[in-house]
Amino acid sequence: MERPQREKTTMALILAVVLLIGVAQPTYAKAKAVKTKKTVKTVQAVAPLNIHDFRIGMTQSEVKKLLQKKKVSGYETGFSDIFAYSPSPGTEIRLLLTCSAKENILGKVELTTSFTTEETALAVPKFKAKLIAKYGMPLFSGPQGGLLDFCWGQCEQGAKGIKLTAVATAPQGNKSTLALTLSNDALIQDCSEVRSKQINSWLYQWIDAVQKFKLSMSLKDASALYLQRYQNKLELDEERDEAAQQHTVINYVAKEYDFFTALDYESQAFEGVELGTIVLKFTGGQAGKDSSLNKKLYYALFTTAKFTDMHVYTDVKQKLDQFIKVYGTPAEVVPQPGGLTARWQQDAGQRSVSIFDSGLITFEQSDPALKDAYRNAAVKKIDEYNKTRFDRPIF
């Protein structure tokens, strides 16, 4: 009878110990947590890679606000998608914006500073120490002319994302340059997709704009329209009419390039394989006082740039429809590789347009009858003047 009682007592003691351990453990854990909270330091999150607080992906509005905060009011550039300023003597920061679906964003930041050959031994070690102190140990470090080559962020070949590079070039003459560059190549690729849509939308605006230059419009009206469209004054040169062999008949001609920029009219980046063309020709002022033939548009040529070698802008027929709405059904439409050419032959003049899926459009119109009529009137006036020039009282 004693053995069962002893076993029962022993089991009760074991159970009591287990219960005590189970009850005591939370109290110990709680006390340990409080102690840990007091002794362990909070680890600060690593700040995004930046140069002077400029971060990749900032909107153009945010960039301008930060410039204002830094009290930078003057920029050493006339372009709308690049800001350049000097934060300290001998140092320049360039902020290059790229496009996005809504607003231009910061795609690249470049900081450059120069130093002489004599300063290299002092400058390079200090640059290395300051860069490591600010950005941490680089993921990549290699020699570049024996000076400095660091990289942080997405440094692997073919990697997409933000990376920061610091490169000190070998001396050129007595000068070396340290270039700190923050960039994201993926933004350029994203921009190219956005740009295709923006360019195609712009091409329709271009079509609408060039159609406003109508044959026989006055030089005054064409100049005003040109100024409104291109924000530049129309510059004219004199051109002799070779068909009037025995007479000096002068016409006016304007030849300009059309620049297709990456973001807007004042952008610094040219976009397109080649420059566009603008040629406007006007009759001169020799047809007689108050003649309706004087200073009238008789020839116009406009071309866009070739934006790509790929078949991107495939809505060729839709673009042709924009010309048909204004000039009616063309006399002929000839298919071309990657596009078409349409021609009109009307009393008001001759017109042709070539449209390609590369984005290249050429629009040409002329009124030979207007030019001939002016030449004939000018020759007549010149002959009349020559017959009586010595009969006039000049003494």
> For the segment 9-30, what is each residue's pLDDT rounded down to a tens digit?
333 333 332 323 333 333 333 3
| Percentage with pLDDT > 90 across the chain | 58
- Model confidence at 5: pLDDT above 50: no
pLDDT of 27? 33
CA distances from 296 to 21, 186, 371, 377 (A): 105, 50, 9, 14
Same domain flag for 230 and 184 = no
Same domain flag for 247 and 147 = no
Task: Report residue 264: phi and psi, to 5°.
Answer: -160, -170
Domain boundary among 156, 188, 220: 188
pLDDT of 263? 67
How many helices, marked H, and strands, marked E, lie in the chain?
7, 15
Same domain flag for 103 and 221 = no
| Percentage with pLDDT > 70 across the chain | 85
| Domain presence at residue 8 | no
Query: Which DSSP state fits 151?
Result: E
Q: Which of the residue ranges 168-182, 257-271, 342-356 would you say has the lowest mean pLDDT? A: 257-271
Tokens of 85: 């300023």
Same domain flag for 184 and 215 = no
Say which residue the tokens 């800001």 belong to: 83
Contacts (Cβ under 8 Å, ≥6 apart) of 139: 151, 152, 153, 155
Question: DSSP strand E in the chain: where?
Answer: 82-88, 91-98, 105-116, 140-141, 148-153, 162-168, 175-184, 237-240, 250-258, 276-282, 297-303, 332-336, 339-346, 349-356, 361-366
* Interatomic CA distance for residues 110 and 292, integer angstroms: 58
- Model confidence at 118: pLDDT above 50: yes
Say which residue the tokens 């017109």 belong to: 351
Q: Which of the residue ranges 123-137, 210-224, 352-366, 378-392 would you say has the lowest mean pLDDT? A: 378-392
Q: Which 3 state secondary structure label does DSSP give 361?
A: strand
> What is the total count of domains within the chain?
2
Nearest C-alpha neighbor of 111 from the set 128, 132, 95: 95
Q: What is the mean pLDDT of residues 250-268?
A: 83
| Domain presence at residue 17 | no
- Model confidence at 183: pLDDT above 50: yes
Domain boundary among 133, 154, 188: 188
Q: What is the mean pLDDT of residues 248-255?
A: 96
Average pLDDT score over the chain: 84
Same domain flag for 70 and 139 = yes
pLDDT of 75? 67
Q: Which residue has the higher pLDDT, 250 or 160?
A: 250
Task: Report residue 345: phi and psi, to 5°.
Answer: -125, 105
pLDDT of 129? 94
Q: Which residue has the higher pLDDT, 392 or 8?
A: 392
- Model confidence at 33: pLDDT above 80: no
- Model confidence at 126: pLDDT above 90: yes
Query: What end-to-end distance do the CA atoms of the chain give, in Å?
Result: 163
Same domain flag for 184 and 242 = no
pLDDT of 167? 93
Sign of CA dihedral 33, 38, 39, 43: positive
pLDDT of 330? 96
Q: What is the mean pLDDT of residues 153-169?
A: 90
The 10s digit of each residue's pLDDT in 37-59 is 444 444 344 458 999 999 999 99
* Interatomic CA distance for residues 192 and 79, integer angstroms: 20
Query: What are the beta bridge partners of residue 184?
Result: 162
| Domain presence at residue 272 | yes
Say how many C-beta atoms besides its own lie within 10 A of residue 140's C-beta: 13
Q: Which domain holds residue 277?
A: 211-387
| Domain presence at residue 236 | yes
